[in-house]
Amino acid sequence: MRQSKLFTKTQKEVPGDEQALNAQLLIRAGYIHKEMAGVYQFLPLGLRVVEKIKQIVREEINSIDGQEMIATSLQRKDLWERTSRWDDEVVDVWFKSELKAGGEVGFGWSHEEPLADMMINHISSYKDLPTMIYQFQNKLRNELRAKSGVMRGREFVMKDSYSFAATEEQHNEMYEASKQAYTRVFERLGLGDDTYVTFAAGGAFTEFSHEFQTVCEAGEDITYINKEKGIAINEEILEKTDLAELGITKDQLEKVKTAEVGNIFNFGREKAKEVGLFFKDENGDKIPVWMGSYGIGITRAMGVVVEKFADNKGLVWPENIAPYKVHLVGLNLEDKEIADWAEGVYNALVERGVEVLFDDRDARPGEKFADSDLLGLPYRVVASKRGREEGKFEVVTRATGEVRSLTEEELFADFA
RNA sequence: CGGGGUGUAGCAUAGUGGUAGUGUGUUCGGUUUGGGACCGAGUGGUCCGGGUUCGAUUCCCGGCUCCCCGACCA
């Protein structure tokens, strides 16, 4: 991508209406645009990050036999009434609307009910189980107070999966597989070291659940962790937790702020019973399906990555989810020889399949470097008159500041 | 939803009951060219609705907005 063609602009000033670091930087760098409180447009660079994260999640969920689909945003009132969760007193984040044709619809804040109902058409025998479906979708939640930039919005991208099993063993296997897949996801997002499988309350879903909590100052949750034993307990259930059973005492737990990047809920057979999702077992008996649901906040995870890795110069993306791997910064481009040379490198890298953002703009070096730092791509490759004379490129690793001087061959060997 | 704050140009901000200022962006001209360079000339603004007043961006009332704390929540 040529930066001269990129429609988004960077800005020096910190937006006056954002306190959250993630929103400040993502807006300044042109990754997102604030539409209203808790609602952000994802611009080309931001979308690439979202898609990178989605792809990692997709690969991991596919690897445990999840099947991707896409559900509707509009949801039926009658379905949610079956499980007594249409009422605002029960689920207070509902956006709802009236149909002109009569009746009411809800805007999807989660999809257990419609997808369980849908599966009535596809599950009739134990031979159809186990199975897992998932989707990426914009979830709509009428938050009383949106905050923390993209970490707690009224509209956000979420991956949600739903497992359906005939037996408790099958169910536990899928639950465990999801947990493992999530662990791999957060590892690949660069959050592995600071992300804990956490015992938590189940909210509107179940009594207890497992959350994936990432240690992060900007997070909203308080979690008690023990790094050695890998134990983490959400403050909300600390009192109810039998610490002795976990082989730990309270003073072995460290209190930290965390952000919930994922969660998994175990519904047992209750949900299916309420919705009416049954299968016939070997004896021909009609049994409710075991269900679980599993979420990863894609855009929230993006916000957490920003919060954790950004420095005072701007964003710092882990290589796996950066919008581009290389920021090729062209200097002295008014000199045709230099411009041609930089163009040549750009084309060669693109041909070799390297994701490159090429700063070919007519701008001064200082501005280009400042923008480069702000955008936070993993590697900055400078093509300048000075470099041309030496036959070298200056390569700077954004995260560490390490500077190398590479020949064209070395550059290709490194990045292609 | 309770409490506190806020709203002035694309962005960030100052100020005033009497012609609204600065930085930045942007446009044009010139000098520059490895860390947001300089000079000159343009461009562009008081959240919405009422009220008080000769006159309101300023004061009052209402609404909306955004931010923060709390409650709630994935």
Q: Which of residues 174-233 of A touch strand B (CB under 7 A)?
A: 201, 203-205, 211, 220-221
Beta-bridge partners for A416: none
Write out pLDDT tens, residues A134-175.
Answer: 999 999 999 999 999 999 999 999 999 999 999 999 999 999
Is strand B in 7 Å reach of the CB of A396?
A: yes
Residue A208 above 90 pLDDT? no
What letter represents residue A215's amino acid? Answer: V
Instruction: Kindly tell me if the per-residue pLDDT of A205 is higher than 70.
Output: no
Among the ranges given (A192-206, A240-254, A278-292, A301-315), the one the predictor scored with the smallest mean pLDDT: A192-206
Length of chain A, in residues: 416
Q: Tell me the CA distances in angstroms from A102 to A105, A182, A288, one per residue in order.
A: 10, 42, 33
**What is the reported pTM?**
0.97
User: What integer best gives the mean pLDDT of chain A?
Assistant: 96
CA neighbor of A300 nearest in space, from A197, A194, A143, A155: A155
**CATH domain A324-415 topology:** Rossmann fold (3.40.50)
Spacing of A374 CA from B7 C1' in Å: 28
For chain A, what percent of residues have pLDDT higher than 90?
94
Confidence of residue A58 (pLDDT cuts 50, 70, 90): very high
Beta bridge partners of A224: A233, A255
A198, A223 contact by CB (below 8 A): yes
Sign of the torsion angle spanned by Cα atoms A208, A210, A216, A219: negative
Question: A218-250: per-residue pLDDT in tens?
Answer: 999 999 999 999 999 999 999 888 888 889 999
Residue ranges, CATH 3.40.50.800, chain A: 324-415
Distance CA A245, CA A346 (A): 59
| Strand B–CB A413 distance below 7 A | no
Assess contact for A164 and A291: CB atoms under 8 A.
yes
**CA A51 → CA A55, A71, A123, A233, A263, distances in Å?**
6, 18, 31, 31, 20
A370 touches strand B (CB under 7 A): yes
Domain with CATH 3.30.930.10 in chain A: 21-309
The pLDDT of residue A388: 96
* Nearest nt (C1') from A158 Cα: B74
pLDDT, tens digit, 9 for 90 and up, residues A342-392 = 999 999 999 999 999 999 999 999 999 999 999 999 999 999 999 999 999
Residues A21-309, CATH architecture: 2-Layer Sandwich (3.30)
Within window 89-108 on A, which residues have Cβ closer than 7 Å to strand B?
A: 92-93
Q: What is the mean pLDDT of residues A18-34?
A: 97
